[in-house]
Structure 1
Amino acid sequence: MSVMSFSIPRTIYYGEGSLDKLAQLQGKKAAIVTGGSSMKRFGFLDQAESLLKKAGIDSILIDGVEPNPSVETVQKGAKAMLDFSPDWIVAIGGGSALDAAKVMWCFYEHPELAFEDIIQPGSMPSLRNKAKFIAIPSTSGTASEITAFSVITDTKKHIKYPIVAADMVPDIAILDPSLPMTMPKHITANTGMDVMCHATEAVVSTAATAFTDPYAIQAIKMVLEHLPVAYHEPKNLKAREAMHEASALAGMAFTNASLGLVHSMAHKIGGEFGVTHGLANAILLPYVIAYNRKFTDKYAYAEKILGVADLAQAIKEMNQKMDIPSCFRDCSEVDFNEEKFKEVLQRMSQNAFEDPCTLTNPGTPTAADVQMLYEAAYYGTEVK
């Protein structure tokens, strides 16, 4: 067996009121990165700014990060950081805000780099030369707050690039359940299924180990038990805490074990059609499980521990309870025009096949296999 590694996040503060830890930071300046207006509307930005001020830290706000953060957005944010010179970067909001802030951080520390310089594994230079990083998620899904991953969209090429670098794991993650309690139901569903996908793909990854499996399987257990409750009872603090923790646990698993075809395919169909990442994962997951079962017994292993007869069926039933469509053709979030789907299918399949996440999928999938899976997930047909 070759030498392997297992890394866990630096510091995690979790539980109700954990946002107050911002008042205990030591520093001079902080750049707060966020997305749309929800963090402002619910008072969390004002609270964060007030807590930083209590710590004697001046702050600026870099907002407007879009749901699929673009290269242009991270470059614009990095320029604002260069002008302000923060020693802390505080990302607060959904996974997109956290992902964007990580890459802004890179360009702030290394302004000479172009985006193309960091998209290959191992190409990210060292960070923490100018600033440290705090991540405060408002959604329970991406686990960007404790992972080495970021996903950035090249809007000109219509491709989402997963960027992986150990240095991007935040110095501090704050998991305060008061933030996700403000999520609308459909976002609770989509982000929660992102957690399920992270955990499930980590279990069957060819890089999974005895170190990663416990985190992944516990995350699956928590999602099965608590996501439907969080969806139907948005103010249920116990369910919100559990989903926030499940997201982080799944993140610990997949940041060490990596992912698989579901994410490869979700990245590319998201780049082509603009569908939300978690929703794409939720739709794709049962189809990829059906394909992967031919190559791995790890689903059966997880099912035995969890006491679940058929994980794919349990996922389908949970999707249905949360109004997630069973195939892309029935998806109303974006326009999944059949003519465009056929037009981009071959290119999208090749791009997904070449995605880094494909490398740790069970078996040896081909671009033709990926195309078959896209067609099954689009039309809602059986996997061949």
Structure 2
Amino acid sequence: MIAMKNNFDFMMPSVNFFGPGVIEKIGERAQLLNMKKVLLVTDSFLRNLENGPVKQTEASLKAAGVEYVFFDGVEPNPKIRNVMDGAAIYRDSLCDSIITIGGGSVHDCGKGIGIVLTNGDDVTKLAGIETLKNPLPPLMAVNTTAGTASEITRHAVLTNEETHLKFVVVSWRNVPLVSFNDPLLMLDVPTKLTAATGMDALCHCVESYVSENRNPITDAQAEKGIKLIGQYLRRAVANGHDLEARTNMAYASLLAGMAFNNADLGYVHAMAHQLGGQYDAPHGVCCAVLMPTVERWNMIASPERFADIAVFLGENIEGLGKMEATEKGIAALERISEDVGIPVNIKAIGANPKDFDLMADNALKDGNAFSNPRKGTKEDIVELFTQAYNA
């Protein structure tokens, strides 16, 4: 069994407002942070949604007397061009702060904008861990999905559109000063997005729980997150206006974010970044499709942990051998994914075996790869992509 770290640091979000209606506090917090002119970062769909999170943010800022301008050009899997376009509006409009409104793509883009404003225009040179020397402009995040937890994490995941490669800038400076998780903003999230983001949160919990960098605090967060997602994700997909399910999924996502912000992730995310970058596929779907294949390969490194996951998901492992219990955990992950409508293989999202060699090479360079519990070669990763393709 892999050992747990005895000495560790633990990063928490500065302030997170959680619960129905907390969006109303954004103007007050903008005032407290002395925000005078804010760049609101979002996408065109959310900006135009009647009485949606953007309109509610605008109302709160207006009531507080805070000026703002928009950048609504964020794309899924945000591109470097999105970051540079947003930074140009910030500079031209003489902004002094940033508020992101949306899911993971929007928050990552907003972080990217902040990074180039204070650390240099070539964001690709800043890929890696703790490469940022200067603080970002004051940043707040209004979250609208239960999944990525980018509103509280130190990760900014961006896509180089020329190479089709995703890269990650990981720094404590990326953590928003204030974030908002209001389940009322999540009631109208489409079914497919609810499923994808929920599976991303589940993957965060699972990978954190078996990570080499886990600790007792992340264990507790990952365990609770897995239990909540096992109980509420299907309900949130079945009925998007089930406020209890939405609230508990937002809670699970928050816990998952704090867990992986400290424990780190593994090969599922390292490989999912390659899928998403290469084929512009939804990140949560990439994680969900890869997770059973990768974790079945991982389970010999920590069978006790995967048996725990089976129990967290409600499986009865009494009287089973260690590996049998572990397999029940993997099967439970597969059932959740199937129940919420995730494709069964990466072929369904456009993967092409001719790309697996390059993708495997880049997956092993991804910052998430180093905390995976089982260590593999490039050939191993190619084989995992192949298995996920043929599943």
TM-score range, shorter chain: over 0.9
Tell me which amino acid in the other structure corresponds to 1:22: I
- State the shift of 1:47 in Å: 1.9
8 Å CA contact 1:180–1:240 kept in 2: the answer is: yes
- The answer to whether 1:77 aligns with 2:77 is no
User: CA-to-partner distance for each residue in 1:327-357, whole Å, 9 max, x for gaps?
Assistant: 122x2xx434xxxx12211111111121111
2:132 and 2:165 mapped to 1: Cα distance? 19
1:21 and 1:379 mapped to 2: Cα distance? 49
2:92 and 2:196 mapped to 1: Cα distance? 36
Supply the RMSD in Å over aligned alpha carbons.
1.5
- State the shift of 1:240 in Å: 0.5
- State the shift of 1:304 in Å: 4.1
- State the shift of 1:55 in Å: 1.1
1:231 aligned residue: 237
Match of 1:263 among 262, 269, 294: 269
Match of 1:249 among 247, 255, 258: 255
Tell me which amino acid in the other structure corresponds to 1:92: I
- The answer to whether 1:328 aligns with 2:352 is no
Alignment of 1:15-26 (within 5 A): 15-24=19-28, 25-26=30-31
Alignment of 1:1-384 (within 5 A): 3-24=7-28, 25-26=30-31, 27-43=35-51, 44-110=53-119, 112-128=120-136, 131-296=137-302, 297-304=304-311, 307-309=314-316, 310-329=328-347, 331=348, 334-336=349-351, 341-380=352-391
- State the shift of 1:39 in Å: 4.1
2:200 and 2:139 mapped to 1: Cα distance? 23
2:294 and 2:143 mapped to 1: Cα distance? 28
- State the shift of 1:42 in Å: 3.5
Taking only the aligned residue pairs, the percentage that are identical comes to: 33
User: CA-to-partner distance for each residue in 1:303-342, whole Å, 9 max, x for gaps?
Assistant: 345543422111211122122121122x2xx434xxxx12
User: CA-to-partner distance for each residue in 1:248-292, whole Å, 9 max, x for gaps?
Assistant: 110000000000000000000111112111001111111111001
What secondary structure is seen at the aligned counterpart in 1 of 2:269?
Answer: helix
1:211 and 1:245 mapped to 2: Cα distance? 16
2:324 aligned residue: none
8 Å CA contact 1:36–1:66 kept in 2: the answer is: no
2:375 and 2:339 mapped to 1: Cα distance? 33
8 Å CA contact 1:35–1:94 kept in 2: the answer is: no
8 Å CA contact 1:202–1:213 kept in 2: the answer is: yes
What secondary structure is seen at the aligned counterpart in 2 of 1:56?
Answer: coil
8 Å CA contact 2:230–2:313 kept in 1: the answer is: no
TM-score normalised according to structure 2 size: 0.91
1:342 and 1:238 mapped to 2: Cα distance? 42
1:126 and 1:376 mapped to 2: Cα distance? 43
Tell me which amino acid in the other structure corresponds to 2:44: G
What secondary structure is seen at the aligned counterpart in 2 of 1:69?
Answer: coil
- State the shift of 1:122 in Å: 1.9
Tell me which amino acid in the other structure corresponds to 1:89: I
| Number of aligned residues | 370
TM-score normalised according to structure 1 size: 0.93
2:224 and 2:121 mapped to 1: Cα distance? 39
Tell me which amino acid in the other structure corresponds to 1:191: T
User: CA-to-partner distance for each residue in 1:40-69, whole Å, 9 max, x for gaps?
Assistant: 213222221121111111000101200010
2:342 and 2:311 mapped to 1: Cα distance? 26
2:124 and 2:6 mapped to 1: Cα distance? 30
Tell me which amino acid in the other structure corresponds to 1:197: C
2:330 and 2:99 mapped to 1: Cα distance? 37
Which ranges of structure 2 fall in alignment gaps of 5 or more residues?
317-327
What secondary structure is seen at the aligned counterpart in 2 of 1:76?
Answer: helix
2:284 and 2:77 mapped to 1: Cα distance? 12
1:270 and 1:139 mapped to 2: Cα distance? 18
8 Å CA contact 1:229–1:236 kept in 2: the answer is: yes
What secondary structure is seen at the aligned counterpart in 2 of 1:145?
Answer: coil
User: CA-to-partner distance for each residue in 1:147-180, whole Å, 9 max, x for gaps?
Assistant: 0011100011110112211111111110011111
User: CA-to-partner distance for each residue in 1:74-97, whole Å, 9 max, x for gaps?
Assistant: 011111112223333110012100
Tell me which amino acid in the other structure corresponds to 1:161: F
Greater displacement, 227-236 / 174-183? 174-183
